Structures are given as C-alpha cells and as structure tokens.
Structure 1
Amino acid sequence: MNPSRRNFLKKSAIAASAISSLSVVPENVWSSEFAPSDKVNVALIGCRNMGFGILRHHLDTGMVNCLALCDVDKNILNERAQTVKNDYGQESQLYSDYRKLLERIDIDAVIIGTPDHWHCLIMVEAAQAGKDVYVEKPMANTIGECNIMVKAAKRYNRVVQVGQQQRDNKVFKDVMGLIKSGEIGTLRKVNIWANFNYGLGSTPKPDSPVPEGVDYDFWLGPAPKRPFNENRFHGSWRHFWDYGGGLMSDWGVHLLDMGIWAKDLTEGPETVITYAENLSRKTMHRDSFDTMNVIFPKKDYVINWDMTAGIQQGPFDSSYGVQFIGEKATIVADRYKYHLSPEWDGAKDAPKAEEVSYTKGHESHRQHVDNFLECIKTREKTSCPPEVGRAAALHAHIPNIAARVGQPVLEWDDEQSRFTNCEKANELITPEYRKPWKLPEV
C-alpha cells in the first residue's frame, strides 16, 4: 500500500469506511422539513421496548408519519400513544390485532418489535399486504421461519431491513474496510465473546393471573399454550425456546454477523461444534444455557464464540467484542471503538502494518433506520436484507439446536436446509404453530 494512503487511514480511518460496499445515509438528509405527501406512513407492531426505540428513530428523521400503534398490552399501547403525541405531535390509531392494522392501504411500512416467535407471521402478512418491513433481530425464532421470510421478501418484492444495526455502524464499517483492503493480511480467525448478567435468566416466580389490560392468549399466538408467568413475559421472554434463543440469539446474532460479514457470507454454517451447559450455581428460570463455546470452521478461516452469562467481564476489559486475527495485524472492536495492532516483521525490523485506532463510535440504530427509509424511496436492497438476517440467525440457532438435542457436532446442508447427521435436530428446524395460527406459506 502506498505511504500516502496508509497515512490517511492512520489519521482518520475514513478511507476504510469508503472501502465498504455499504453506505450510511447522513442524518442531515432527513433533518429538513418534508411535505406530508413526501413522508413515509409507518406503523409499529409491538410497542414496549426495542420496537418503540426504533419508531423514535424513524420519527426523529422528520420524514415519517406514525399512523398506527399495535400491542396486546393496552397499558403499554396507551402510554406509547401519549408519548408519540407529546413528543412528536402525532395522533396514532390504536390496535390490539395487527391484522386489522395491515388492512389499511395508507400504511407504507411496518416496524415489527414483537417477541421473536411473532416475527415471521407478521412479516409475511405485511409483505402480502404490500408493506415494507423493518423487523427486529433475530429475523425469526427458527430456521424454517427465516427461510419463509426470505422467500416472502422476494415474492412480494418488498424492502426489508433486519434490525442488525451494526451493519451501519462506523466502527464495523471501518473494520470491514481494513480487512477487505488487506490491511491485516489474510484473515485466519475471528474470536467473539459476550458476557452479560441478564443472560442467566430470571429468579423463579410462581405462575400468576394475567395482568389487567393484557391479551395473553394473543401474546402467545402460535407458541404453545402455557399458564401466565411473569418470567415468560415482558423483558425476560427471550430465555425460553417458545419465544427466543437466550443470549445466543440476542447478542450472538449481532456479533456473529460481524464474523460472517468479514467474508461476505450469506449462508448457514456447514459445520458447528458446540459446548453448552448451565454452570452457574444459581437456580434460575430459563430454557437457554448460561455457558457456551462454539466453533464455526469456515473454508479459509474459523469463527470462535465464547459466552458466559452472569458475569460482566471479558477480554480486553470489555464484556463483549470481536477480535479479527490476520497474518499482518489483529483488530479488536466493539460498537464504540477499534484498534489495529500490527505484527512485527523481524526481517525488516518494522511493523507489518500501520497501527490504527478509533474511539468515537456510537450506537447506529438511527443510521440503520436512515438506510431503511432511503431504500423505501429507491427500492434498493437494505444494508441488512433477509438473506443476511437469515445467515446470522442460523449461526445462532444451530448451536442452540445442537445443545438442545445433545449433538456436539452438527453438519448443515444450506441448499437443502437440513442437518445431514442428526434427524432429531431436523425436528427443530420448523415450528408447529398452535391452532388457529398457521405457519405462513409462500
């Protein structure tokens, strides 16, 4: 690499961002006043947590009308409607049944912020109704549902953004630029770790009456019928297989996505080697595992996943992160910073690469929303289209399946979408929906 370009990278890392094939729409693009006819009419389905945060990012652009809100919890629904009115001066029609909302022809796009087990059904029906979709990650709660969603986006020609916002994060865009331009040499290994207290699950609680204002049967939807338990509801549902995949499909899907983005992979892993166990001494209410190590052998590199729920410490004094190891240098990154550390060339008595650091990163939900809205206008692919969301989800779901069926090594045929060495694992590819709900057909 010529000295001038190397110096440019060292000083600002802007060139590394430019190398990336994806572009971030500047925030000021959407900061001006827009005529009502130019605005995108959106609706939010699932209003409590992340979904409402994503709606806020849409509204902050100034080019969105929030026509409708939908939730099975009237308490959350009314509270969010009041917030939209107070903070953005917009009145939204309220729904408890998303199907009624999708009947409206004036809604251009929907945001799906529900628990994972609802993503597929709502996304497919929204696409059939002609709506573009922003769906939170993981794209779906099972492999079979992910496959259906990829087909739906193609068949109905919809713009779909999966909420893996790190695809629009400056830190990781810079990192991908450095890797793909050869700054670290041949990539050999990606080490990923995630250690969070909440991954342990919840303290056991007895079943209890359904809270007032909550349509719990609708909340369960296609999931199995179960008595109400606070631990399976708001905030902690993801620790149960019926609705989520624990820490693995929460943080794992984000971080593993960086490992496969480094080589632009869009398929599931051929081989997965998994160790998973509950090693914490605490008695917790959960289905998922608190300790996992997973190896993903790739064609010319390897991805390692290391997860310990219940602690907040990790390598490089960070509870989570990604380490990209190349022949010439290693990059360590999280959402806010990265550092490229060169290897030493003894023969030349010099570093094999130029050291690069960046420490002014930030969360990128807004940039991910900007990309979605831009693609609604241009009809181009989003930064995280369904095939990318599927690949990341499979890298999380397959280790979970391996742990659930007690098969440490699973072999996956991505073209046939099945395991070749474990029929018991194949039984967990596609869920059986509880009647009257039906798995979508595309």
Structure 2
Amino acid sequence: MGTMTTLAATAGAAKAFPGTFSIGTQQQKAIRVGLIGANGMGWSNLNSMLKVPGVQCTALCDVDANVLNKRAGELKTRNITPKLYAKHEELLADPNVDAVIIGTPDHWHCLIMVDACVAGKDVYVEKPLGNSIAECNAMVAAAAKYNRMVQVGQWQRSQQHFRDAMDFVHSGKLGKIRLVKAWAYQGWMKSIPVKPDGPAPEGVDYTRWLGPARERPFNPNRFHFEFRWFWDYAGGLMTDWGVHMLDFALIGMKATTPKSIMATGGKFAYPNDAAETPDTLTTVYEFDDFTVQWEHANGIDGGPYGRNHGVAFIGNFGTLVVDRGGWEVIPEGERMEAVPLQKSKDNGLDMHTANFIEVVRSRRLEALNAPVTAGAHIAIFSQMGNIAYRTGEKIYWNAQKGQFSSDAANKLLAADYHNGYRIPKV
C-alpha cells in the first residue's frame, strides 16, 4: 500500500479446553479467545463475544494485576477459568488461544496486533486501529501477509439502522450533497485536574504499560481511561469518536482521500487542566465537490440537530441525520418528504462480535463488517485532522507518495517509539 488505506445468541458457560458445540444437528469448532487489556472496552468486547455459542475465554492478559485478578474473579463466578498472563507475548504463545481481543491503550495496538498475526491468531482490535499513519500501514500489511481475520471495533458498522441510512443517502433522494457534518459533543467529559507525579500503583508494570511511549514518571491522569487525552498514547476525541462518525461520512459519500485538511481549535473549555489534546476542535476535509466537517467539544451536549453525536448529510432537497439512536430526514421546504425518526432496534456490539466469530470460522475475509483496511482508512483520516491541528497548517496529501506537502506534517506520519521498541517492518 504505502499510501492511505482504502475503504473497502445465547450466552453459555465457556470451558477452558478445546471442543465443539452444536446448533441443531450442526457441529462446529469452539473458538478459544484471549483478552489483552481487560479494563474497559476490552472487557465489554469479551462479554459480548461470550454470548456467541461456542466461544470460550481461555486466557487473560493485563499489565495491571489488580485489573487482571478482578476480571479473573468475575469470570470464575461464571465457571470460566482462563490462564492469566502479564505479558502479551506469553498469551500469544498459548496453543489454547485461537483469537485475541486487543483492548489496550492505542499506543500498544500496533505492536500487539502484528505480534498476534505472526503468532497465527485472529484479532479483534479496538478502535482507533493505530496511533499513527505508519502504524496503520504496518497493521494492514501484517494482516495480509499472515492471512489473519482482523476486525476493528467500529461496531456501528454492524447496526442495521446505519446501513439503512447509508442506503437512503446513496439513493439520491437528498439531491446534491455539498456538505457532511460529523460531530461529538461530550457533556460528561469534564476538566481533568492537574495531579502530581508519583509511584505507580502496586501491581502495575508501569514500564510495560509505557511500552513504546516516552519514559516519564507515573501520573494518574495518564493511566487507564484518561490516556486518551495525551499525544503519547492516543489522539483525543478526534480519534476516539471521530473514527466512528467520520467513517459514515465517508461511506455515505463513497469517498476516500481528501484533497486538503485544515483544523482549528484548542483547550478553550479547560485551558489549565492536565489534558494535552484539544477540548474544542473544528476540522474541514476538502473533496472535489463537497466538504466534510468534524466538530467536537468537551463539556457540552448541545450538538447540531439536538444531538450530542451524529452525522448529517446536507443535500439540496433535505438533510439526513443519523446517530446511534436512529436516523431521520429533514426536508428542505417542500422539496421532499420528511422521514420520521427510524429508531435503532439492535445491539451493535453484539452483532459486531458475532460477525467476527462467524468469519473466524468461515475464513471469508470479505464478510467482515469492519476489516483492518476499513479501520486503517478511517484512523488515518482522523489522524490527518490531528496533524492539521498540531501543525497549524492547511495540509495536502499525496496518495502516490504516501506523504503530505508539509515537512512539519510528514514528521507526524509515524509515532515516536522509545525504550527499544520499533514500528514493525512487515
């Protein structure tokens, strides 16, 4: 590739040994799953996956022994007794693991996913796929080289109402679409008060947690959930929510690579708190005959169209607005009929994990709802917005060279790796 990637049940007690299960008269191989990073969405993903018949949890891994032991205890109450690991390499060497869930902070996604592919494991990796453009490219290459089924945790792609909304956008009934807005206004995200550095909590392998990130003293603001707001580990709301919302902006417009990107914003809500990433941001992506606009704001719920998140396709005849709750069409005067709110009727996460397990069994890569190529494409697209913000420049992408027109922007193509780690060469 070298350039921007293109888009292309019933719960049961799991047994910690290989076997088969039956649906009617059909026998299928059990899928043994290991979880790496068990504190947040990784844990949610595992519990969702365990609803799929025949899925067994055989291994858990976390650098925080407190989290590891807590999750092991919770599973034990359900008669599930996985092996416990402190290092992902040890889990990946376990022959009783067929597939892994990666729920670590973003800066570890690439290294673990590539290691998993090399080890012959299929992968369900949380979004955003990678923490830099170079990482995303390496992850796509690894999945292809080792013929692994890799699903990215963009579970909205498995929800029927999002698919219905995209079908309506593609129908042409909205008329010419000139502007697409995507946004995340997150009122629950309050200021992160400055806290002093100190020792890591007992049971935490902090050196391991840092991994390829720069060495620095432990600070509770950078640990567990709050890692999202620091450039060493993630990309703020731009990559946390942007990959969800902007994904559908591109699907709806059948778009791939923007001509230019510009962004402005800053720490306007909480200028003196501990976070590094902007709490307020507007990003504009230029295409030939339309623009895509991203907005986010911490501490505010009053987003466009009365929604704290969503995507709006603004056409000459009407506007389609979609979020996790459903979709509707707001007519432009009398140019078209309104479509009342079409509410979501399914569980996107459960459908997404079931889709992954189905493909692990069938080996039909084309049946994945969020394959690694799609995850890479939207992660890179969102990272472009952050790069425009961090450079303060209007930047232009050269798809043939896989580079920007700006030297400052090109310096941000790859995350800085430290402590002896290197971005994988695949």
TM score, norm. by length of structure 2: 0.91
Partner of 2:398: 413
SS at match of 1:34: strand
C-alpha separation between the residues in 2 aligned to 1:357 and 1:310? 26
The amino acid of 2:323's aligned partner reads D
C-alpha separation between the residues in 2 aligned to 1:434 and 1:311? 36
Q: Decide which of 326, 339, 360 is 1:376's aligned counterpart.
A: 360
Partner of 2:234: 244
Instruction: Give the direction of change, closer, same or farther, for the CA distance of 1:154–1:281 in structure 2 (3 Å limit).
Output: closer
Partner of 1:34: 21
C-alpha separation between the residues in 1 aligned to 2:277 and 2:190? 8
Answer yes or no: is 1:68 the counterpart of 2:59: yes
C-alpha separation between the residues in 2 aligned to 1:58 and 1:281? 38
The amino acid of 2:30's aligned partner reads K
C-alpha separation between the residues in 1 aligned to 2:310 and 2:347? 14
Instruction: Give the direction of change, closer, same or farther, for the CA distance of 1:41–1:365 in structure 2 (3 Å limit).
Output: same
C-alpha separation between the residues in 1 aligned to 2:288 and 2:350? 34
Q: CA deviation at 1:224?
A: 0.5
Partner of 2:81: 91
Instruction: Give the direction of change, closer, same or farther, for the CA distance of 1:432–1:273 in structure 2 (3 Å limit).
Output: closer
Q: Is the 8 A contact 1:207 1:230 kept in 2?
A: yes
- Per mean C-alpha deviation after superposition, the further-off stretch among 191-200 and 106-115 is 191-200
Answer yes or no: is 1:397 the counterpart of 2:383: yes
Q: CA deviation at 1:281?
A: 4.9
Task: Could you tell me which runs of 5 or more consecutive residues in structure 2 were left unpaired when the two chains were aligned.
Answer: 1-7, 14-19
Instruction: Give the direction of change, closer, same or farther, for the CA distance of 1:281–1:71 in structure 2 (3 Å limit).
Output: closer
Q: Is the 8 A contact 2:99 2:123 kept in 1?
A: yes
Q: Decide which of 232, 235, 245 is 1:255's aligned counterpart.
A: 245
Q: CA deviation at 1:439?
A: 1.6
Instruction: Give the direction of change, closer, same or farther, for the CA distance of 1:212–1:338 in structure 2 (3 Å limit).
Output: same
C-alpha separation between the residues in 1 aligned to 2:254 and 2:101? 26
Partner of 2:5: none
Q: CA deviation at 1:371?
A: 1.1
Answer yes or no: is 1:149 the counterpart of 2:136: no
Instruction: Give the direction of change, closer, same or farther, for the CA distance of 1:202–1:122 in structure 2 (3 Å limit).
Output: same
Answer yes or no: is 1:196 the counterpart of 2:219: no
Q: Is the 8 A contact 1:70 1:97 kept in 2?
A: yes
Q: Decide which of 101, 110, 120 is 1:120's aligned counterpart.
A: 110
Q: CA deviation at 1:414?
A: 2.6
C-alpha separation between the residues in 2 aligned to 1:415 and 1:90? 50
Answer yes or no: is 1:323 the counterpart of 2:312: yes
The amino acid of 2:392's aligned partner reads G
C-alpha separation between the residues in 2 aligned to 1:151 and 1:137? 17
Partner of 1:306: 295
The amino acid of 1:395's aligned partner reads F
Q: Is the 8 A contact 2:321 2:328 kept in 1?
A: yes
Q: CA deviation at 1:308?
A: 1.6
- Alpha-carbon displacement from aligned partner over 1:176-235 (angstroms, at most 9, x marks no partner): 111122332333221112111455651100011110000000000011001000000011
Q: Is the 8 A contact 1:49 1:113 kept in 2?
A: yes
Answer yes or no: is 1:357 the counterpart of 2:348: no
Q: Is the 8 A contact 2:213 2:419 kept in 1?
A: no
- Per mean C-alpha deviation after superposition, the further-off stretch among 138-147 and 388-397 is 388-397
- Alpha-carbon displacement from aligned partner over 1:113-148 (angstroms, at most 9, x marks no partner): 000000000000100111111000000111110010
SS at match of 1:60: coil
Q: CA deviation at 1:343?
A: 3.3
- Per mean C-alpha deviation after superposition, the further-off stretch among 172-181 and 51-60 is 172-181
C-alpha separation between the residues in 2 aligned to 1:199 and 1:429? 28
C-alpha separation between the residues in 2 aligned to 1:139 and 1:284? 27
Instruction: Give the direction of change, closer, same or farther, for the CA distance of 1:79–1:440 in structure 2 (3 Å limit).
Output: same
SS at match of 2:56: strand
The amino acid of 2:157's aligned partner reads R
Q: Decide which of 410, 422, 425 is 2:409's aligned counterpart.
A: 425
C-alpha separation between the residues in 2 aligned to 1:281 and 1:302? 29
C-alpha separation between the residues in 2 aligned to 1:209 and 1:354? 58
Q: Decide which of 366, 373, 379 is 1:387's aligned counterpart.
A: 373
Instruction: Give the direction of change, closer, same or farther, for the CA distance of 1:431–1:281 in structure 2 (3 Å limit).
Output: closer
Answer yes or no: is 1:226 the counterpart of 2:216: yes
The amino acid of 1:181's aligned partner reads S
Q: Is the 8 A contact 1:268 1:394 kept in 2?
A: no
Answer yes or no: is 1:51 the counterpart of 2:42: yes
Partner of 1:163: 153
Aligned residues: 408
Partner of 1:185: 175
C-alpha separation between the residues in 1 aligned to 2:142 and 2:93? 18
C-alpha separation between the residues in 2 aligned to 1:244 and 1:198? 19
| Greater helix fraction, Structure 1 or Structure 2 | 1
Partner of 1:213: 203
Q: Is the 8 A contact 1:201 1:239 kept in 2?
A: no
C-alpha separation between the residues in 2 aligned to 1:343 and 1:245? 36
C-alpha separation between the residues in 2 aligned to 1:57 and 1:281? 35
C-alpha separation between the residues in 1 aligned to 2:139 and 2:401? 16
C-alpha separation between the residues in 2 aligned to 1:28 and 1:67? 19
TM score, norm. by length of structure 1: 0.87
- Alpha-carbon displacement from aligned partner over 1:90-110 (angstroms, at most 9, x marks no partner): 110000000011112331110
Q: Decide which of 73, 80, 86 is 2:71's aligned counterpart.
A: 80
C-alpha separation between the residues in 1 aligned to 2:74 and 2:132? 33
Q: CA deviation at 1:314?
A: 1.4
Instruction: Give the direction of change, closer, same or farther, for the CA distance of 1:136–1:353 in structure 2 (3 Å limit).
Output: same
